[in-house]
Structure 1
Amino acid sequence: MIFHFVAEFPLVQTKIVDFFKIKRSSGFEKLESKKRKRKSVCISKKKRKLLPFNPTENLRRRLEQMASLATALTATGAVFINELTYVAGMAPKSANRAALEKGGMQVMSREDKETLIQCKAMMERGEWAPLLVVFDPVEGFTVEADRHIKDLTIITEYVGDVDYLRNRETDEGDSMMTLLSARDESKSLVICPDKRSNIARFINGINNHTLDGKKKQNLKCVRFDVDGECRVLLVATRDIRKGERLYYDYNGSEHEYPTHHFV
């Protein structure tokens, strides 16, 4: 047993399908019988394209992966979502404007946007990135690769409730993510995954004050302008072997998050 202090989510396909709102007509249970053609990916030296994740074919193993996330979400009192959410009393959707970013935000290319759409469509069918949420007595819930993952693979989008940073300045939550760093600070936005979230909130950060901590990093957090809106993706920065835990730098270029105490 991986989790010792919380009840594990039942490994029952119907319960998992309902929990994650997977489309029942998607052929989810038939994925492992499909033969997938391998495709060669040509990556330009000038522009390296993002890659879609490669789901686990074995149905039972995919159910175990999903159940591990359901266990973590249930234990932390969160509801699963896979998109940014806009709640009354917080920032409206109209506030998410990439044009407000201080210094500008990189625009996602057409090819990368198609890859992101492909990943979202796969998830709706129950074909997810091969990830497992495990519990560590020191780090808490954390995420590891459940099969080999290639460099530049989209791991997940960082999602949750969108709010103005000014409303969260005294918030003690440790999972907030910058969505928009506006020239006018009153318009800056953050993602708050404490009530609604996906697997992204369980991916841990590195101690960026030590060499060993920096060596563990295998993901990067990238903000994109997608059709005029800010989106945050976690992307592999190198090949990741099966069983390796996922880590990224919580600070990026801001250096505002204290990581001295991280393992």
Structure 2
Amino acid sequence: MMDMNMNIQLNILSNCVASVNDPELIVTLCSISHFSLTHTSKPSSHIPNLMASLCRRRTRAPQKKTSIFNNDDIVCQKCNSGKSPTKLLLCDNCNKGYHLFCLTSVPKSSWFCPSCSHNTNTKYVRKKRKRGSRWVSSKKKWNLLPFVPSADSMRRLEQMASLVNALAATKAEFSNALTYMPGMAPRNANSTALEDGGGGIQVLSKEGTKALNLCTDMMERGECPPLMVVYDPLEGYTVEADKPIEALTIIAEYVGDVDYLKNREDDEVNNSMMTLLYASDPSQSLIICPDKRSNIARFISGINNHTREGKKKQNVKSARFNVNGEFRVLLIAKRYIPKGERLYYDYNGSENAYPTKHFV
């Protein structure tokens, strides 16, 4: 019976993750779903093609440059690859190319690469000291709830496969915790004692800590939040609720590599960074960089907070908490979210330093 169930799961897995002939993708999904590779003798032989769905259009402007995509000399400036030439977006000034799946924002009209743009329209704004926090400050005590995973294990595999799809497109590894890599900020740099005016930071309550730990334990068992990563031709990869979510439910923790802000001030290609710590000494301020390691939080969309319609879309809040003396950023359901609704939060958080006028 166990072998039969395993075969069924493998069939679902094969249907969810289409063929790339790359066993690393199946390893990624297995690590997310707590699925043992010991049950598969030749995992790569059953992987269908995933890359056909990785196309993500980065601009709503007319596609005028498709005729020159056949130039074999054009390579992506981020990954240095000339593969997938039809997925290259060219700078309107210098004609240098970037793969659509190597970028993570959606410019509304003409697009300029980081080298040519002095006022980029991507999510990351080059600022020396001030940048969008992407989380809100609140002294209100929140009674947080753990997410409730889908009961059907096959559906959970489909949800996790949709995440693998998006991670593969952005060439990122799955991680469900903040990572401290050699050459970046050490873990002891993430201390609430270093925060500028840190006395007002909300300490995660005992009940909230219990809920967060339960979410972590469920993820380790392969019980993921009921979310589906869905590709949209205008917004790119988005996240939708796959079952109803109650208000104040923990959606996910915003994770990635922790680095000093000073090391990333010129990193305009990586535009999904989240402020983690505003230090009294600006050289000690920290950010979360999800470009190499991340989870589903990276793909949750931002609202256009310049329009009434955009503000109405917000159903998720981002908030920093003091958890055992360290900062953690959580994405939390702002209200009841019905099944099928797309998730949005305010990338500006407490400030207005983040450009969202071009957001759909």
TM-score strictly above 0.5: yes
Q: 2:217 aligns with which of 108, 112, 121?
A: 121
Instruction: Work out the CA distance in 1 between the residues paired with 2:35 and 2:240.
Output: 26
Instruction: Work out the CA distance in 2 between the residues paired with 1:16 and 1:256.
Output: 35
* Aligned partners of 1:160 and 1:196 also within 8 Å: yes
State the match for 1:187 in structure 2. Answer: 284
State the match for 2:34 in structure 1. Answer: 22
Q: 1:87 aligns with which of 175, 181, 204?
A: 181
* Aligned partners of 2:32 and 2:219 also within 8 Å: no
Instruction: Work out the CA distance in 1 between the residues paired with 2:31 and 2:308.
Output: 40
Q: 2:196 aligns with which of 83, 102, 112?
A: 102
The answer to whether residue 328 in structure 2 is matched with residue 222 in structure 1 is: no
Instruction: Work out the CA distance in 2 between the residues paired with 1:233 and 1:170.
Output: 26
The answer to whether residue 164 in structure 2 is matched with residue 70 in structure 1 is: yes
Q: CA deviation at 1:168?
A: 0.7
RMSD value over aligned CA atoms?
Answer: 1.8
State the match for 1:146 in structure 2. Answer: 242
* Aligned partners of 2:28 and 2:173 also within 8 Å: no
Instruction: Work out the CA distance in 1 between the residues paired with 2:304 and 2:350.
Output: 14
* Aligned partners of 1:8 and 1:71 also within 8 Å: no
* Aligned partners of 1:136 and 1:142 also within 8 Å: yes
Task: Kindly provide the CA deviation profile for residues 106-138 of structure 1, in whole angstroms up to 9, marking residues without a partner as x.
Answer: 111111001100010001001111000000011
Task: Kindly provide the CA deviation profile for residues 231-251 of structure 1, in whole angstroms up to 9, marking residues without a partner as x.
Answer: 000000000010000000001
* Aligned partners of 2:228 and 2:240 also within 8 Å: yes
Instruction: Work out the CA distance in 1 between the residues paired with 2:189 and 2:28.
Output: 34
Q: 1:158 aligns with which of 254, 262, 271?
A: 254
Paired residue secondary structure (2:239): strand
State the match for 1:241 in structure 2. Answer: 338
Task: Name stretches of at least 5 consecutive residues in structure 2 with no aligned partner.
Answer: 1-14, 20-25, 37-139
Instruction: Work out the CA distance in 2 between the residues paired with 1:199 and 1:73.
Output: 9
Q: 1:211 aligns with which of 300, 308, 314?
A: 308
Q: CA deviation at 1:101?
A: 1.5
1:71 counterpart letter in structure 2: N
Instruction: Work out the CA distance in 1 between the residues paired with 2:318 and 2:204.
Output: 14
Q: CA deviation at 1:9?
A: 2.2
**TM-score of the aligned structures, taking structure 1 as reference length:** 0.85
* Aligned partners of 1:19 and 1:70 also within 8 Å: no
Q: CA deviation at 1:48?
A: 4.1
State the match for 2:147 in structure 1. Answer: 53
* Aligned partners of 1:85 and 1:160 also within 8 Å: yes
Paired residue secondary structure (2:209): helix
Paired residue secondary structure (1:57): coil
Paired residue secondary structure (2:219): helix
1:159-178 map, 5 Å? 159-172=255-268, 173-178=270-275
The answer to whether residue 267 in structure 2 is matched with residue 255 in structure 1 is: no
* Aligned partners of 1:52 and 1:154 also within 8 Å: yes
* Shift in alpha-carbon separation, 1:89–1:48, aligned structure 2, 3 A: closer
**TM-score of the aligned structures, taking structure 2 as reference length:** 0.63
Over the matched positions of the two proteins, sequence identity in percent amounts to: 64
Instruction: Work out the CA distance in 1 between the residues paired with 2:286 and 2:142.
Output: 29
Q: CA deviation at 1:254?
A: 2.1
Q: CA deviation at 1:23?
A: 6.5
Paired residue secondary structure (2:247): coil
Paired residue secondary structure (1:20): helix
Paired residue secondary structure (2:336): coil
* Aligned partners of 2:147 and 2:225 also within 8 Å: yes
1:118 counterpart letter in structure 2: L
Bigger Rg over Cα: 2
* Aligned partners of 1:80 and 1:197 also within 8 Å: yes
Q: CA deviation at 1:10?
A: 4.2
Instruction: Work out the CA distance in 1 between the residues paired with 2:197 and 2:327.
Output: 14
Task: Kindly provide the CA deviation profile for residues 152-185 of structure 1, in whole angstroms up to 9, marking residues without a partner as x.
Answer: 0000000000000011111112100010011211
